[in-house]
Amino acid sequence: MNPSPEGHGQEPSRRDFIYIAAGGAAAIGGAFLLWPFIDQMNPAADTLAVSTTEVNLADVAEGEQLTVMYQGKPTFVRHRTAEEVAAARETGPNQIPDGDSRNLNLVEGSDATDQHRSAMAAGVRDGVEVDATLRERFIIMLANCTHLGCVPVGQSGDYHGWYCPCHGSHYDTAGRIRRGPAPENLHIPPYTFLSGTTIRIG
């Protein structure tokens, strides 16, 4: 009976074991080498520290705007005038380029009425008693143009809301895109009322 060719049907040799062990060590070493690069993509400690932001709405006078930081992003807290609210309510969601509220406090796909964009959307849901006039007057939005992320200028533009001078996007007093290259309304972050005048964003 002839012996089988060398290497066939035999247990792994010492050389095979060395190859396997070396490959495993190289894989583990590669993972250790890559970990610092992967880990640096996690949010910075200072960003995590501001994952929520509290704002006292009583500090924002009618007709004024406060810019606060939320998760490292500028966020507008605007106390609109009665005229600004009325102007926003004259325009329905079917008259604007983006009919979506872009409001994380509502179910996805809610239409972009002024009521769905203002603090009316959060005030009822929280179970906190909030003055109805205050809820309709305030609007809280991420302060980044939805075109390329620039920060629009308040109380300006063709619709007296926000205007992005970088590329000419015009937003109305409800933060809805009306003209220009921006594809979406200014986004509204999640927030809740902690009291009749204090909100927590995030």
Residue 161 is assigned to a structural domain of this protein: yes
Q: How confident is the model at residue 1 (pLDDT cuts 50, 70, 90)?
A: very low
* pLDDT(126) > 70: no
Residue 53: inside a domain: yes
Q: Residue 157 sits in which domain range?
A: 46-201
Q: Which is more confident, 43 or 104? A: 104
State the Cα–Cα distance between residues 197 and 145, nearest whole angstrom. 27
Q: What is the mean pLDDT of residues 168-172?
A: 95
Whether 5 maps to a domain, the answer reads no
What does pTM read for this prediction? Answer: 0.73
State residue 90's pLDDT score: 94
Q: What is the SS3 assignment for 115?
A: helix
Residue 54 lies in a domain: yes
Q: Please report whether residue 35 resides in a domain.
A: no
Cβ–Cβ under 8 Å, residues 146 and 77: no
d(CA 56, CA 76): 13
- DSSP SS3 for 43: coil
Here the CATH number for the domain that contains residue 147 is 2.102.10.10
Burial of residue 44, with CB atoms counted within 10 A of its CB: 0-12 exposed, 13-18 middle, 19 or more buried: exposed
> Is residue 3 included in any domain, yes or no?
no
Question: How many other CB atoms sit within 10 Å of the CB of residue 174?
Answer: 30
Residue 147 lies in a domain: yes
Give the model's pLDDT for residue 102: 95
Asked whether the predicted pLDDT for residue 143 surpasses 60, the reply is yes
167 is catalytic: yes
Q: What is the mean pLDDT of residues 174-190?
A: 96
Domain count, the chain: 1
Task: Give pLDDT, residue 97.
Answer: 95
- Residue 34 within a domain: no
Of 79, 160, 167, 170, which is the active-site residue? Answer: 167
